[in-house]
Structure 1
Protein backbone atom coordinates (compact mmCIF):
# COMPACT_ATOMS: atom_id res chain seq x y z
CA UNK A 1 0.00 0.00 0.00
CA UNK A 2 1.38 3.42 -0.96
CA UNK A 3 1.19 6.20 1.60
CA UNK A 4 -0.71 9.28 0.46
CA UNK A 5 0.65 11.49 3.24
CA UNK A 6 2.85 14.35 2.12
CA UNK A 7 6.09 15.09 3.96
CA UNK A 8 4.32 18.04 5.59
CA UNK A 9 1.46 15.79 6.74
CA UNK A 10 3.90 13.23 8.18
CA UNK A 11 5.85 15.93 10.03
CA UNK A 12 2.72 17.59 11.39
CA UNK A 13 1.20 14.26 12.44
CA UNK A 14 4.39 13.36 14.32
CA UNK A 15 4.58 16.73 16.10
CA UNK A 16 0.86 16.78 16.88
CA UNK A 17 1.04 13.36 18.59
CA UNK A 18 3.65 14.47 21.16
CA UNK A 19 2.15 14.43 24.65
CA UNK A 20 2.47 17.19 27.19
CA UNK A 21 4.98 16.24 29.91
CA UNK A 22 2.79 17.66 32.68
CA UNK A 23 -0.57 16.47 31.31
CA UNK A 24 0.35 13.23 29.50
CA UNK A 25 -3.25 12.44 28.55
CA UNK A 26 -3.11 15.44 26.19
CA UNK A 27 -1.12 16.01 23.04
CA UNK A 28 0.45 19.34 22.15
CA UNK A 29 -2.28 19.54 19.49
CA UNK A 30 -5.00 19.02 22.14
CA UNK A 31 -3.55 21.86 24.21
CA UNK A 32 -3.18 24.25 21.30
CA UNK A 33 0.57 24.47 21.96
CA UNK A 34 1.49 23.26 18.47
CA UNK A 35 1.25 26.35 16.29
CA UNK A 36 2.78 25.59 12.91
CA UNK A 37 4.80 23.00 11.01
CA UNK A 38 6.60 23.98 7.84
CA UNK A 39 9.18 22.31 5.64
CA UNK A 40 11.82 24.85 4.62
CA UNK A 41 13.43 24.90 1.16
CA UNK A 42 16.52 23.12 2.51
CA UNK A 43 14.35 20.27 3.87
CA UNK A 44 14.48 21.38 7.51
CA UNK A 45 11.22 20.76 9.36
CA UNK A 46 10.44 23.90 11.34
CA UNK A 47 7.94 23.44 14.18
CA UNK A 48 6.58 26.33 16.24
CA UNK A 49 5.19 25.77 19.72
CA UNK A 50 3.83 28.25 22.26
CA UNK A 51 4.20 27.60 25.99
CA UNK A 52 1.14 27.92 28.20
CA UNK A 53 3.12 30.28 30.43
CA UNK A 54 6.29 32.21 29.71
CA UNK A 55 9.01 30.44 31.64
CA UNK A 56 7.10 27.14 31.50
CA UNK A 57 9.49 24.55 32.97
CA UNK A 58 8.20 21.88 30.57
CA UNK A 59 9.13 23.84 27.43
CA UNK A 60 12.60 22.31 27.08
CA UNK A 61 11.16 18.80 27.37
CA UNK A 62 8.41 19.59 24.87
CA UNK A 63 11.00 20.88 22.40
CA UNK A 64 13.12 17.74 22.80
CA UNK A 65 10.08 15.45 22.48
CA UNK A 66 8.93 17.20 19.28
CA UNK A 67 12.45 16.97 17.86
CA UNK A 68 12.61 13.23 18.61
CA UNK A 69 9.14 12.54 17.19
CA UNK A 70 9.73 14.38 13.93
CA UNK A 71 13.14 12.73 13.48
CA UNK A 72 11.54 9.32 14.16
CA UNK A 73 9.08 10.11 11.34
CA UNK A 74 12.06 10.16 8.96
CA UNK A 75 13.28 13.76 8.96
CA UNK A 76 16.97 14.51 9.52
CA UNK A 77 16.86 18.26 10.10
CA UNK A 78 14.40 19.57 12.67
CA UNK A 79 14.19 22.97 14.35
CA UNK A 80 11.69 23.50 17.14
CA UNK A 81 11.01 27.20 17.56
CA UNK A 82 9.10 29.10 20.23
CA UNK A 83 6.32 31.49 19.24
CA UNK A 84 5.44 33.89 22.05
CA UNK A 85 3.05 36.12 20.13
CA UNK A 86 0.20 35.89 20.31
CA UNK A 87 0.41 34.50 23.80
CA UNK A 88 -1.18 31.10 24.38
CA UNK A 89 -4.78 31.10 25.55
CA UNK A 90 -6.67 28.35 27.32
CA UNK A 91 -9.30 28.91 24.62
CA UNK A 92 -6.91 27.08 22.27
CA UNK A 93 -7.50 23.77 24.07
CA UNK A 94 -9.52 21.62 21.69
CA UNK A 95 -12.88 20.09 22.59
CA UNK A 96 -11.13 16.69 22.58
CA UNK A 97 -8.53 18.09 24.99
CA UNK A 98 -11.22 19.45 27.31
CA UNK A 99 -12.98 16.08 27.25
CA UNK A 100 -9.72 14.24 28.06
CA UNK A 101 -9.05 16.59 31.00
CA UNK A 102 -12.48 15.93 32.48
CA UNK A 103 -12.13 12.17 31.92
CA UNK A 104 -8.94 12.29 33.98
CA UNK A 105 -10.51 14.23 36.86
CA UNK A 106 -9.13 17.65 35.89
CA UNK A 107 -11.58 20.49 35.46
CA UNK A 108 -11.09 22.09 32.02
CA UNK A 109 -10.94 25.87 31.81
CA UNK A 110 -13.89 28.04 31.01
CA UNK A 111 -13.65 30.86 28.50
CA UNK A 112 -10.50 32.95 28.89
CA UNK A 113 -10.89 36.59 29.90
CA UNK A 114 -11.06 39.01 26.98
CA UNK A 115 -7.71 40.59 26.17
CA UNK A 116 -7.75 44.19 25.01
CA UNK A 117 -5.43 45.34 22.27
CA UNK A 118 -2.52 47.39 23.52
CA UNK A 119 -0.93 47.36 26.96
CA UNK A 120 -2.04 44.75 29.46
CA UNK A 121 -4.23 46.47 32.05
CA UNK A 122 -3.10 46.30 35.66
CA UNK A 123 -5.51 44.24 37.74
CA UNK A 124 -4.88 44.19 41.47
CA UNK A 125 -7.59 41.71 42.33
CA UNK A 126 -7.19 38.04 41.43
CA UNK A 127 -9.55 36.60 38.88
CA UNK A 128 -11.50 33.69 40.30
CA UNK A 129 -13.57 31.10 38.57
CA UNK A 130 -15.83 28.52 40.13
CA UNK A 131 -15.36 25.35 38.11
CA UNK A 132 -17.70 22.39 38.26
CA UNK A 133 -16.39 19.22 39.84
CA UNK A 134 -15.15 16.88 37.09
CA UNK A 135 -16.04 13.89 39.27
CA UNK A 136 -19.67 14.55 40.24
CA UNK A 137 -20.55 17.65 38.19
CA UNK A 138 -21.45 19.85 41.17
CA UNK A 139 -20.92 23.61 40.90
CA UNK A 140 -20.45 23.75 44.69
CA UNK A 141 -16.66 23.92 44.68
CA UNK A 142 -14.02 25.95 46.45
CA UNK A 143 -10.46 26.91 45.63
CA UNK A 144 -7.91 25.47 48.04
CA UNK A 145 -4.80 26.87 46.39
CA UNK A 146 -4.32 29.15 43.37
CA UNK A 147 -1.18 27.16 42.62
CA UNK A 148 -1.42 23.47 41.81
CA UNK A 149 1.17 20.94 40.76
CA UNK A 150 1.95 23.08 37.71
CA UNK A 151 1.69 26.81 37.02
CA UNK A 152 -1.32 26.36 34.77
CA UNK A 153 -3.48 24.60 37.38
CA UNK A 154 -5.17 25.48 40.68
CA UNK A 155 -6.32 23.06 43.39
CA UNK A 156 -10.04 22.92 44.21
CA UNK A 157 -12.36 20.78 46.33
CA UNK A 158 -15.93 19.81 45.70
CA UNK A 159 -18.27 20.65 48.57
CA UNK A 160 -20.72 17.96 47.43
CA UNK A 161 -18.53 14.87 47.04
CA UNK A 162 -15.62 16.33 49.09
CA UNK A 163 -13.05 15.21 46.51
CA UNK A 164 -10.13 17.47 45.60
CA UNK A 165 -9.45 18.15 41.92
CA UNK A 166 -7.22 20.30 39.76
CA UNK A 167 -8.58 23.03 37.48
CA UNK A 168 -6.75 24.33 34.43
CA UNK A 169 -6.71 28.11 34.80
CA UNK A 170 -8.30 30.41 32.25
CA UNK A 171 -5.58 32.42 30.56
Structure 2
Protein backbone atom coordinates (compact mmCIF):
# COMPACT_ATOMS: atom_id res chain seq x y z
CA UNK A 1 0.00 0.00 0.00
CA UNK A 2 1.42 3.36 -0.97
CA UNK A 3 -0.94 5.46 1.19
CA UNK A 4 -1.04 5.39 4.96
CA UNK A 5 -3.55 2.79 6.21
CA UNK A 6 -5.91 5.44 7.63
CA UNK A 7 -5.86 7.40 4.37
CA UNK A 8 -6.46 4.25 2.33
CA UNK A 9 -9.40 3.23 4.54
CA UNK A 10 -10.86 6.74 4.29
CA UNK A 11 -10.65 6.51 0.47
CA UNK A 12 -12.59 3.22 0.56
CA UNK A 13 -15.29 4.65 2.85
CA UNK A 14 -15.60 7.69 0.57
CA UNK A 15 -15.86 5.52 -2.56
CA UNK A 16 -18.57 3.32 -1.03
CA UNK A 17 -20.52 6.11 0.71
CA UNK A 18 -23.25 6.35 -1.94
CA UNK A 19 -23.48 2.64 -2.83
CA UNK A 20 -27.12 1.64 -2.39
CA UNK A 21 -28.82 -1.62 -1.54
CA UNK A 22 -29.90 -3.45 -4.73
CA UNK A 23 -33.33 -4.27 -3.27
CA UNK A 24 -33.98 -0.88 -1.66
CA UNK A 25 -32.19 1.70 -3.83
CA UNK A 26 -33.00 4.67 -1.57
CA UNK A 27 -30.72 3.55 1.28
CA UNK A 28 -26.99 3.02 1.27
CA UNK A 29 -25.22 -0.10 2.44
CA UNK A 30 -23.60 1.96 5.17
CA UNK A 31 -26.96 3.37 6.37
CA UNK A 32 -28.38 -0.16 6.53
CA UNK A 33 -25.38 -1.39 8.50
CA UNK A 34 -24.45 -3.98 5.86
CA UNK A 35 -21.13 -2.25 5.19
CA UNK A 36 -19.46 -3.10 8.50
CA UNK A 37 -15.79 -2.19 8.32
CA UNK A 38 -12.84 -1.23 6.21
CA UNK A 39 -9.52 -2.45 7.53
CA UNK A 40 -5.91 -2.41 6.48
CA UNK A 41 -4.29 -5.84 6.79
CA UNK A 42 -0.77 -7.01 5.91
CA UNK A 43 -2.29 -8.43 2.69
CA UNK A 44 -4.04 -5.18 1.72
CA UNK A 45 -7.41 -3.56 2.30
CA UNK A 46 -10.50 -5.50 3.33
CA UNK A 47 -14.10 -4.39 3.12
CA UNK A 48 -16.36 -6.28 5.53
CA UNK A 49 -20.03 -6.79 4.69
CA UNK A 50 -22.67 -8.58 6.78
CA UNK A 51 -25.96 -9.83 5.30
CA UNK A 52 -29.26 -8.80 6.81
CA UNK A 53 -29.84 -12.53 7.26
CA UNK A 54 -27.68 -15.52 6.33
CA UNK A 55 -29.76 -16.49 3.29
CA UNK A 56 -30.02 -13.00 1.79
CA UNK A 57 -30.06 -13.46 -2.01
CA UNK A 58 -28.78 -9.91 -2.59
CA UNK A 59 -25.36 -10.56 -1.00
CA UNK A 60 -23.79 -11.72 -4.27
CA UNK A 61 -24.97 -8.54 -5.97
CA UNK A 62 -23.82 -6.40 -3.02
CA UNK A 63 -20.35 -7.98 -3.13
CA UNK A 64 -20.17 -7.43 -6.92
CA UNK A 65 -21.29 -3.80 -6.50
CA UNK A 66 -18.66 -3.14 -3.81
CA UNK A 67 -15.94 -4.68 -6.01
CA UNK A 68 -17.05 -2.73 -9.10
CA UNK A 69 -17.17 0.55 -7.16
CA UNK A 70 -13.68 -0.01 -5.75
CA UNK A 71 -12.33 -1.07 -9.17
CA UNK A 72 -13.77 2.08 -10.76
CA UNK A 73 -12.05 4.15 -8.07
CA UNK A 74 -8.76 2.31 -8.62
CA UNK A 75 -8.73 0.90 -5.09
CA UNK A 76 -7.54 -2.69 -4.69
CA UNK A 77 -9.38 -4.40 -1.83
CA UNK A 78 -10.82 -7.73 -0.83
CA UNK A 79 -14.50 -8.08 0.06
CA UNK A 80 -15.14 -10.29 3.08
CA UNK A 81 -18.56 -11.52 4.18
CA UNK A 82 -18.74 -11.77 7.96
CA UNK A 83 -21.68 -13.57 9.57
CA UNK A 84 -20.81 -12.98 13.22
CA UNK A 85 -21.91 -10.95 14.93
CA UNK A 86 -25.19 -11.36 13.10
CA UNK A 87 -26.68 -8.23 11.52
CA UNK A 88 -29.38 -6.50 13.51
CA UNK A 89 -31.79 -3.71 12.64
CA UNK A 90 -30.13 -1.83 15.52
CA UNK A 91 -27.28 -1.21 13.03
CA UNK A 92 -29.61 0.81 10.75
CA UNK A 93 -29.16 4.55 10.92
CA UNK A 94 -32.09 6.82 11.71
CA UNK A 95 -31.60 8.31 8.22
CA UNK A 96 -32.13 4.82 6.72
CA UNK A 97 -35.35 4.36 8.70
CA UNK A 98 -36.70 7.69 7.45
CA UNK A 99 -35.72 6.86 3.87
CA UNK A 100 -37.52 3.50 4.16
CA UNK A 101 -40.67 5.24 5.40
CA UNK A 102 -40.54 7.78 2.56
CA UNK A 103 -40.07 4.93 0.07
CA UNK A 104 -43.19 3.15 1.37
CA UNK A 105 -41.59 0.57 3.66
CA UNK A 106 -42.38 0.74 7.38
CA UNK A 107 -39.06 0.80 9.22
CA UNK A 108 -38.37 -1.68 12.02
CA UNK A 109 -39.34 -0.84 15.56
CA UNK A 110 -36.54 -0.29 18.01
CA UNK A 111 -36.10 -3.46 19.97
CA UNK A 112 -36.37 -3.14 23.73
CA UNK A 113 -33.62 -4.52 25.92
CA UNK A 114 -34.29 -8.18 26.70
CA UNK A 115 -36.33 -8.81 29.82
CA UNK A 116 -34.91 -11.86 31.55
CA UNK A 117 -37.17 -11.76 34.56
CA UNK A 118 -39.33 -14.67 35.57
CA UNK A 119 -42.41 -12.50 35.01
CA UNK A 120 -41.59 -12.31 31.30
CA UNK A 121 -42.49 -15.96 30.89
CA UNK A 122 -45.85 -15.45 32.55
CA UNK A 123 -47.18 -12.79 30.20
CA UNK A 124 -47.73 -12.64 26.46
CA UNK A 125 -45.60 -10.16 24.54
CA UNK A 126 -47.52 -7.20 23.19
CA UNK A 127 -46.51 -6.29 19.65
CA UNK A 128 -46.20 -2.62 18.79
CA UNK A 129 -48.57 -1.44 16.08
CA UNK A 130 -46.89 -1.00 12.71
CA UNK A 131 -47.73 2.41 11.26
CA UNK A 132 -48.61 2.73 7.61
CA UNK A 133 -45.81 4.56 5.74
CA UNK A 134 -48.42 6.04 3.37
CA UNK A 135 -50.95 7.63 5.74
CA UNK A 136 -49.41 7.15 9.19
CA UNK A 137 -52.32 5.11 10.57
CA UNK A 138 -51.55 2.39 13.11
CA UNK A 139 -54.76 0.60 12.07
CA UNK A 140 -52.84 -2.09 10.17
CA UNK A 141 -52.80 -5.88 9.91
CA UNK A 142 -50.26 -8.48 8.89
CA UNK A 143 -51.09 -10.11 5.56
CA UNK A 144 -48.03 -12.36 5.44
CA UNK A 145 -44.92 -12.82 7.56
CA UNK A 146 -42.94 -12.56 4.31
CA UNK A 147 -43.12 -9.52 2.05
CA UNK A 148 -41.17 -8.70 -1.10
CA UNK A 149 -38.10 -10.21 0.60
CA UNK A 150 -37.73 -12.53 3.59
CA UNK A 151 -36.48 -9.68 5.81
CA UNK A 152 -39.81 -7.89 5.40
CA UNK A 153 -43.42 -8.75 6.31
CA UNK A 154 -46.42 -7.74 4.21
CA UNK A 155 -48.98 -5.51 5.94
CA UNK A 156 -52.18 -3.78 4.90
CA UNK A 157 -53.49 -0.48 6.17
CA UNK A 158 -57.15 -0.70 7.10
CA UNK A 159 -57.60 3.07 6.72
CA UNK A 160 -56.04 3.88 3.33
CA UNK A 161 -56.29 0.23 2.15
CA UNK A 162 -52.69 0.27 0.85
CA UNK A 163 -50.45 -2.78 1.21
CA UNK A 164 -46.90 -2.14 2.41
CA UNK A 165 -43.75 -3.92 3.52
CA UNK A 166 -42.54 -3.75 7.11
CA UNK A 167 -38.82 -4.27 7.68
CA UNK A 168 -38.84 -6.87 10.46
CA UNK A 169 -36.68 -6.15 13.52
CA UNK A 170 -33.89 -8.64 14.17
Q: TM bucket by the smaller chain?
A: 0.7 to 0.9
Q: Which runs of 4+ in 1 moved over 2 A?
A: 39-42, 112-116, 125-130
- Counterpart in the other structure of 1:112: 111
1:11 alignment counterpart: 12
What are structure 2's unaligned runs of at least 5 residues?
Answer: 1-5, 116-123
Residue number in structure 2 paired with 1:20: 21
In the TM superposition, what whole-angstrom CA distance separates every residue of 1:19-57 from its partner, at most 9, and x where no partner exists?
111111111011011110013334x22000110000111
Structure number having the greater helix percentage = 2
Counterpart secondary structure, 1:6: helix
Match of 2:119 in 1: none
Structure 1 unpaired stretches of 5+? 117-124
| Residue 80 (str. 1) matches residue 50 (str. 2) | no
Q: How many residues align?
A: 158
Partner SS, residue 111 of structure 1: coil
CA RMSD of aligned residues (A): 2.3
TM-score by length of 2: 0.84
Report the counterpart of residue 161 of structure 2 in structure 1: 162
Deviations 1:90-141 (A, max 9, x none): 111101100100111110000136569xxxxxxxx99955310111111100
Match in the other structure for 2:54 = 54
Counterparts in 2 of 1:32-43, with a 5 A limit? 32-42=33-43
